[in-house]
Structures are given as C-alpha cells and as structure tokens.
Chain A
C-alpha cells in the first residue's frame, strides 16, 4: 500500500483535521494561561494589570473551592458506583433469554438520550418535589415523612439524576462485552461443573474487567464536567463542582482572571484521568 503518491495524499488528507484540533486544543489553553495571570474584570476592563499568581491564590482560598473540589470528586465516585454496580447487574440480566428483550433494552437505555436539562428538571419537579413529587407520594403511602431532596441531600440528589443518565451507557457497553463472551466458553464451564456464582467470579467478571475500566475512564471524563444538572436545579451553592465554580466566577463575579485560573486547575485534574484512558486505548490500538 505504500506508494509515495498515496502516502503524500494521506498526509494531506489528515492535515485539516490536525490543524483544526491543534487550534482547538492549544489556542484556548494558551489564552487561559495568559488570562490566569491578569487581574481582569469584565465590568472594569480598563483596570487590568499583571497579577502574578494571585488569581490561583484567591481561587484556591475561596471558601467554595474546597467544598466544590470535594463535591467534584464525590459526584464522580457516587455516579461511578451507581453505574458500575447497576450496569453489571443490568447487563447480566439483559443477557438472559426472555420475552420482549428488545423492548426492555430500549426502556433501559432511553435515559441516555435525554438531554441533561430535561432530566434535571423532570427529576427535580415531577419526581423529587418534597410535596407533589412522585417520591413524596410513595413516602407518604408508607407513612413516612417525604424527603426534601435538594434541600437536605443536594449532592446525592444530583448524583441520582446523573447516575440515572449514565447507567444505560454502562449497561450498554457491558452488555455488548458480555455478548462477545463466547458460547463455547459458557458450555465448557458448565461441563467443568461451574455453578452460577463460580461462573460469574471466574469467567464473567474477569471478562468484564477491561470494559469496566473503559467505562470508568470515559464516564469520569464526562462526570468531571457535570454542569447543566447543577445549574438548572439551582443547587450550585450547595452542591456545586469545579466546573460550576468556574462558571460562577465568570457569570456572577465577572472575574476573568480567577475563572481562568480555576479552569486551569480543572484542566490539570482532567489530564490526570485522561493520561490513563489514553494509555488503555493506546494499548488496544496496538493489539
């Protein structure tokens, strides 16, 4: 396949995409670094001056920072726990022979296609409203006092919504992986006298390890950036994350410098995670 002409053409064909992505990945980063060292407020742009590290200092010592950093990590872990545990169970369930498998599958994966603003508002109102919400009715039916979800356990509430959206993703990927577990292996294990539990421990789970890793990494990248769910449920003050904090620095405080500094901290955090993902996908690419 190696003709000089073909190689040259191939290289040329890749160039526009490389240029576009290089611009996309570098220009904002370079500008963010630039702004992070300026004292620059949108409502008073004339009073702009070089600010050294002070933006980073103020962002990190902001009383919200520690809390929001904690929330960021907690939200990621919470949703990962929900989606991985639930995803494994659902995938195994859906892999069983049953009637109407296609319909069940569609019902299970549907939440993934709901836009974040819709799922946030539907959950906040129709499901979790402390008086009229569905859960409130259920609680009362059992003689319990309804929970005021977003007031008393805001982070968990956001976690449930986001978990509901991402559970289908984990399920779908793990199910796809399960279905590639070949039948002969299942038969062989049965011949060897493996029970259901043994089979799960020694065959299914090891087989799912790699897809689970992939799910964890990809979800983490998206979950670090949860935003719409927090904004439209108006819990930014109680259960905001780093992304939300950067947004509010810009939107509420009009502080470009500090927001840029916060953004850079988010970049560092995301890169720690992505380094792992790139390595895993890369290993897959060689194979």
Chain B
C-alpha cells in the first residue's frame, strides 16, 4: 500500500477479522473446553463453561474404554508408511518428468492403431470369458484377463505419451470416485468376495485384506499418489537443470549428482509433500470407515464409534476428538502454503 491505512481503519479491520476468525474456530474451541468438563457440565456448557470445575478424567476414560493409543498407532502407521511408499514411487517419477521431459510421444501410433489394439484386447477378454465361463469365482483366469488385458495396454499407452499428457492422466486418476471403486476393492480385499479365493490350483481361502495394514497402506498410497507426484513435480521444476549439468561437468556420476546435488536442494519440497500426504491420509474417512473396524482402524474410525453412543458422552467425545485432531492441526498450521500448491495441482502457488 502506498498510503498508510489510518490507525482507526486498521483497528476496525482487526476487530472484524478477529471476530470472524473466532466464529470459524469456535466449534474447535468449544470441543476443547468440553473435553475438560464432567459429562453433566458438558451438557450445560453454554451456561457453565467458566464456572464449572475442570477435569482430566475424560482422557483417562477414553483411553481405558477403547484403547485410544492403539488407534493413534494405527493412524500413524498407515499415514507414515503410505507416505513413504508413495514417495518411493513419486520421487523417481517426478524426477523423470521434471528433468527428462518428453515433448512428443515416444511411440507414434495413430489413433486407429490404438483403437485396433484395444479392440484386440477386448476380443481376447471376451473370448476368454466365453470359453471359461463368465463367473470369476469359478475361473480366476477371467480375473487375471481383466486385470492384465485392461491394465497393460492403458499403462503402455500412458507410458509412451509426452510428459504433459502423463501428468494430466495422473491427475485424472484422482477423479475416480470412491463409490465406483468401493465394490471391486471391497471384494478384492474380502475373503468372502471370492475374487481371490482360488487362483488356478492355488487355494487362497485365507486371503483377507479387510482391516489390515497390508491392505490399507497401499490403498492410501494410491489414493494420494497423484497429488504427491504433482506436488513433487512442481518443486523439482523449480530446480534449474543447469545445476545438475554443472555437477556432471564437475565429474559427478549419476549417484553423486542425485545424492550430493539434487537431494539437498529437493529436501524442502519433499518434506512439504510428506507433510501434506500425512495430513491427507490422517483425515481420510471413506475407505477407513468401510474397510477397517479394529486391527488397522485409525482415529477417524475410532471417532465414528461415538455416533451411536449410550448415555451421556459429550465430554468423552470431545476428549477423544481433541486427541484425534490436535497433532494434525498443528502440522497443518505449518504447511499452509504447501497445502495450496499440493491441492491445486500447482495451479495456484
């Protein structure tokens, strides 16, 4: 501003802003207070929040009743492992696309050729379905055919596109609504889903990924992978390629170029990405509610248990909520900017 705002004006803005900020924050503030009250007081909170006694008992009850720490552990395991796994896929991908961009498709087939290839794969799938029967439960070959014959050509097609198209395709995979994937994933995960009960001669009768880390971690990784790749990509793009070339001229081999020059420069970007991904998976509440109930259940599931409670429960709900949101809210405060970049796919920085 060229002109200094007058003091009165600034005071007025401050007042308005603080008022609105407080309104936005109020439900959290209220939860924070109720968590330290007795159940009876929690129900008359608006009248008594200043006068009624404070207590820590809710936290102890919550822990004793449903083993809060176990859920924290589960949430952390899923968030951290899925993030690390995601980075393992995303870092090389983002590196490749940022520093070795391809401006034209590496394989040039006409649209007609691609259509023919797809048609061919459809025909093979149909032939398999017709000859072995359409019931996947009897004929695992059909499941395999579906996976390979649909997945492979698409993957190959994407892989040979130019970098810009690859990125957009990755973005588009984030659009898959969970409702569309719920049934297949549920059945793939579930031993009763029968997709994997018997594969060929192999009996997979004990196959069950529901409520396991083995199921939730890769799932969460895939959910957020497009965002992670995009975010890393926008960070890598800001590193001048000439610096990596300078390292090559200075005699650095590929490994030294990556570890001594690129890695230190990329650390801030990787850290922000990691943070955002932890936040996203910490708060995920579609798949966790549908696919977990105990062993791998995270905090979002733990809280949902309070939706059908008995007796007075507000103070306990508040204590449990506070414990579930506090760590991630603090992380969130520190990652506001990165959040914008990550969630808008670099469209707003």
Contacts and interface: CB of A to CB of B under 8 A. Distances in A.
The answer to whether A and B touch directly, with their CB atoms under 8 angstroms apart, is: yes
Contact of A48 (B34, B135, B289): B135
A22 B154 contact: yes
Contact of A27 (B166, B184, B337): B184
A260 to B, nearest CB: 4
A243 B178 contact: yes
A182 interface: no
Given A10-B96, A10-B97, A117-B300, A111 B13 contact: no
A16 B346 contact: no
A145 interface: no
Contact of A32 (B184, B300, B318, B340): B184
Interface residues of B, number: 121
Nearest to A134: B46
Contacts of A21: 169-170, 173, 222, 225-226
B176 A270 contact: yes
B159 interface: yes
A239 interface: no
A119 B27 contact: yes
Given A18-B155, A35-B187, A263 B180 contact: yes
Interface stretch (A74-82, A163-171, A198-206): A163-171
Q: B13, B97, B344 — which one has the most chain A CB atoms within 10 A of its CB?
A: B344
Interface residues of A, number: 124
The prevalent SS among residues of A at the interface is helix
Nearest to A168: B24
Contacts of B183: 31-32, 35, 246, 250, 256, 259-260, 263
B96 to A, nearest CB: 4
Interface in B293-349: 299-301, 303-304, 306-308, 314, 317-318, 321, 324-325, 328-329, 331-333, 336-337, 339-340, 343-349
Interface in A105-119: 105-119
A96 B17 contact: yes
Given A1-B100, A15-B159, A22-B151, A274 B172 contact: yes
A35 B185 CA distance: 12
A285 B343 contact: no
B187 A256 contact: yes
Given A115-B325, A183-B1, A228-B300, A100 B18 contact: yes
A284 B348 CA distance: 10
A24 B173 contact: yes
A26 B169 CA distance: 12
Contacts of B90: 17
B259 to A, nearest CB: 15
B282 to A, nearest CB: 7
Contact of A26 (B99, B151, B166): B151
Given A172-B339, A284-B347, 5 more contacts: A24-B225, A30-B151, A100-B18, A231-B304, A247-B290
22 contacts: A17-B90, A21-B225, A31-B188, A32-B181, A93-B16, A99-B14, A107-B25, A110-B25, A110-B329, A112-B339, A113-B333, A118-B325, A121-B321, A173-B348, A190-B2, A190-B3, A211-B347, A225-B286, A227-B178, A246-B183, A260-B184, A267-B177
Interface of B: 1-3, 5, 10, 13-14, 16-18, 20-22, 24-25, 27-28, 30-31, 34, 43-47, 89-90, 92-93, 95-97, 99-102, 106, 134-137, 143, 146-147, 150-151, 154-155, 158-159, 164, 166-188, 192, 194-195, 222, 225-226, 229, 241, 245, 254, 279, 282-283, 285-286, 289-290, 299-301, 303-304, 306-308, 314, 317-318, 321, 324-325, 328-329, 331-333, 336-337, 339-340, 343-349
